[in-house]
């Protein structure tokens, strides 16, 4: 368990840069960076970019010098490595192509939504989350043929809109996202059934409690909660990103509110509505939720 740094090698802005990582947790990395007065803007998903002039100082502060290949190997082993496909420079193109497949000829709406999902205050509710929900829908309804409901395009439209407005205000964010869906989809002359279905599902994500006879709602809610069933390292990264989304909330209040969310999720029986999601994610999700709740003191 260590803070690692590779040799200055990566050129940019008239100098060369090192990568600073933790092989334990992002919390450890951010704490080290704050103590060393590294700017937040130097953080890039799983590492800090640090100029050559800071290398010696960071080593003196306790960063362990390793070769670049060793740094990557240990970052991968820790589960903290963010794949290239999740990085901003890749995400925009991937998402734009996904929107074009979903709604050909409506690229302006897609570009607007991608811009919204790219807002700098987002840490978990960002483009990576949007892409994860889209891919979870593709997995459930595509490969495993779960029922998308009477309007097959609606769960995907709702995925794009469900956090399109995000200020960290539960309930209000979903309401404003639904209003945005009405405005943009109506102006583009989408069918009324698709608009109404999209609005209904966006509002449903405020509580993730679809009825058993609501296949579209079950599908979207399962896709939105797919993150809960990931590996412990991926789940930890998700939980840390959620905390950063609510950085404006004092720790005691956040811990109490977060514990309430975790207990509500654990009380869902089943946690996932589709048979596929229950098979793929439910056991691990319950373990992850219980572990996080325990880390909060079971409040």
Phi and psi at residue 48, to the nearest 5°: -105, 135
Same domain, 94 and 181: yes
* Per-residue confidence (pLDDT) for residue 85, from 0 to 100: 60
Same domain, 127 and 181: yes
Radius of gyration of the chain (CA): 21
State which of 165, 196, 224 marks the end of a domain. Answer: 224
* Per-residue confidence (pLDDT) for residue 266, from 0 to 100: 94
Tokens of 168: 């960290």
Same domain, 155 and 41: no
* Per-residue confidence (pLDDT) for residue 121, from 0 to 100: 87
Whether 118 and 126 have beta carbons less than 8 Å apart is answered as: yes
| End-to-end CA, the chain | 29
Greatest alpha-carbon pair distance for the chain in Å reads 63
Same domain, 152 and 233: no
Same domain, 265 and 200: no
* Per-residue confidence (pLDDT) for residue 233, from 0 to 100: 82
Residues in the chain: 299
State which of 173, 207, 224 marks the end of a domain. Answer: 224
Alpha helices in 153-279 (DSSP H): 154-161, 172-187, 192-204, 215-224, 232-245, 251-267, 275-277
84 secondary structure, DSSP code: G
Whether 194 and 161 have beta carbons less than 8 Å apart is answered as: no
What is d(CA 277, CA 279) in angstroms, rounded to the nearest whole number? 5
Same domain, 101 and 182: yes
Phi and psi at residue 111, to the nearest 5°: -65, -40
Same domain, 30 and 77: yes
pTM of the model: 0.73
In the numeric block, the tokens 């209000």 are attached to 172
Cβ-count burial of 289 within 10 angstroms (0-12 exposed, 13-18 middle, 19+ buried)?
Answer: buried
Tokens of 240: 């840390």
Same domain, 98 and 211: yes
Same domain, 264 and 175: no
Digit-by-digit pLDDT tens for the chain (299 residues) are 699 999 998 887 788 899 999 999 999 999 999 999 999 889 988 999 999 999 999 999 999 999 988 998 899 888 888 776 666 667 888 999 999 999 999 999 999 999 999 998 888 899 999 999 999 999 999 889 999 999 999 999 999 999 999 988 888 999 999 999 999 999 999 999 999 999 999 999 998 889 999 999 999 999 999 999 998 888 988 998 899 888 888 999 999 999 999 999 999 989 999 999 999 999 999 999 999 999 988 65
Same domain, 196 and 171: yes
Using the Cα atoms of residue 229, residue 230, residue 232 and residue 236 in order, give the sign of their dihedral: negative
Residues with Cβ within 8 Å of 254's Cβ and at least 6 positions away in sequence, in order, are 243, 246
* The total number of structural domains that make up the chain: 3
Tell me which residue range forms the domain holding 287: 228-295
């Amino acid at each position: 368990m260590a803070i690692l740094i590779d040799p200055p090698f990566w050129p940019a802005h008239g100098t060369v840069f090192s990568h600073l990582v933790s092989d334990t947790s992002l919390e450890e990395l951010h704490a080290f960076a704050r103590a060393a007065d590294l700017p937040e803007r130097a953080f890039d998903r799983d590492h800090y970019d640090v100029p050559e002039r800071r290398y010696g100082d960071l080593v003196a502060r306790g960063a362990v010098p390793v070769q670049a290949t060793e740094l990557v190997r240990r970052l991968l082993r820790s589960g903290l490595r963010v794949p290239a496909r999740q990085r901003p420079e890749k995400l925009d193109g991937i998402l734009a192509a996904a929107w074009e497949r979903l709604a050909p000829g409506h690229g302006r709406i897609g570009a607007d939504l991608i811009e919204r999902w790219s807002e700098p205050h987002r840490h978990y509710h960002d483009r990576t989350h949007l892409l994860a929900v889209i891919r979870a829908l593709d997995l459930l309804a595509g490969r495993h043929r779960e029922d998308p409901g009477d309007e097959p395009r609606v769960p995907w439209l709702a995925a794009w809109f469900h956090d399109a407005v995000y200020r960290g205000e539960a309930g209000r964010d979903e309401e404003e996202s639904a209003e945005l869906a009405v405005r943009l989809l109506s102006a583009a002359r989408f069918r009324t059934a698709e608009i109404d279905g999209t609005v209904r599902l966006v509002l449903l994500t405020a509580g993730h409690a679809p009825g058993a006879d609501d296949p579209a709602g079950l599908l979207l809610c399962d896709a939105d909660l797919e993150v809960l069933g990931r590996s412990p390292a991926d789940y930890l990264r998700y939980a840390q990103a959620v905390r950063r989304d609510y950085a404006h909330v004092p720790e005691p209040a956040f811990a109490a509110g977060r514990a309430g969310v975790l207990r509500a999720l654990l009380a869902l029986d089943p946690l996932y509505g589709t048979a596929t999601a229950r098979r793929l994610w439910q056991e691990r999700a319950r373990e992850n939720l219980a572990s996080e709740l325990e880390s909060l003191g079971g409040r």
